[in-house]
Amino acid sequence: MFRFMKAGTSIPFRPATLRNLACTILIATGSPALAQDYGEWRALTEEEDKARIGDTAAESIDPSTIEADFDGDSRTDTALIAVRKADGTRDLIVDLGRSVHVLIRSEERGMSVDPEAGLGLAKPRRWDTICGKALRKLQGGLCESERYPASVTLKLPGILYIENGLTQLYYWDRKKKAFESVVLVN
């Protein structure tokens, strides 16, 4: 309900009103303080992203951040190449809103995120892996010994991690409630 006040009447001070006003101003001005919190990670800065793509035209480079409903909960999730705050190392993470999943945690002697790597959105459909029909013979015994799938069929969008000579597909496994991955090109 609205109450009309006489001219010259002061509005009583209420901390909640002031807090709501401050939040409205911050939202309206697009303050970076309201940036997404990824726990021990942060998104690439504009300068870091420019260094990642180098002299290549931005429209021909795979992005460092993509969004889709990766886990099927009807909410938009964010996959991104993020910087670990503790040491500046890049990792591949997915923010599902309620939790952050680490897909690639860079380590000295393990897999690491390439400084020029990018991401792509894998649409729901059938995807051939490195053990698909055309590539199976080139992989030697890997396909049989590891029981590597010849293909995977996505029912939800997936994440393509793309670096020089490698494309890896990450997709949500509803039964395991975790991401699985397969190599598409190596």
pLDDT per residue over 97-128, tens digit each? 989 999 999 887 677 899 889 999 999 999 99
Q: What's the mean pLDDT in 57-84?
A: 92
Helix (H, G, I), strand (E, B) or coil at 143: helix
Q: Give percent of the chain above pLDDT 70.
A: 73
- Which residue reads 């053990």 in tokens? 131
Helix (H, G, I), strand (E, B) or coil at 159: strand
pTM for this prediction: 0.75
CA distances from 22 to 14, 27, 35, 102 (A): 13, 9, 16, 34
- 69 pLDDT more than 90: yes
> How far apart, in whole angstroms, are the C-alpha atoms of residue 118 and residue 65?
8
Transcribe 79-98 into DSSP letters.
EEEEEETTT--EEEEEE-SS
For the stretch 9-47, pLDDT in tens is: 444 444 444 344 344 333 333 333 335 788 899 999 999
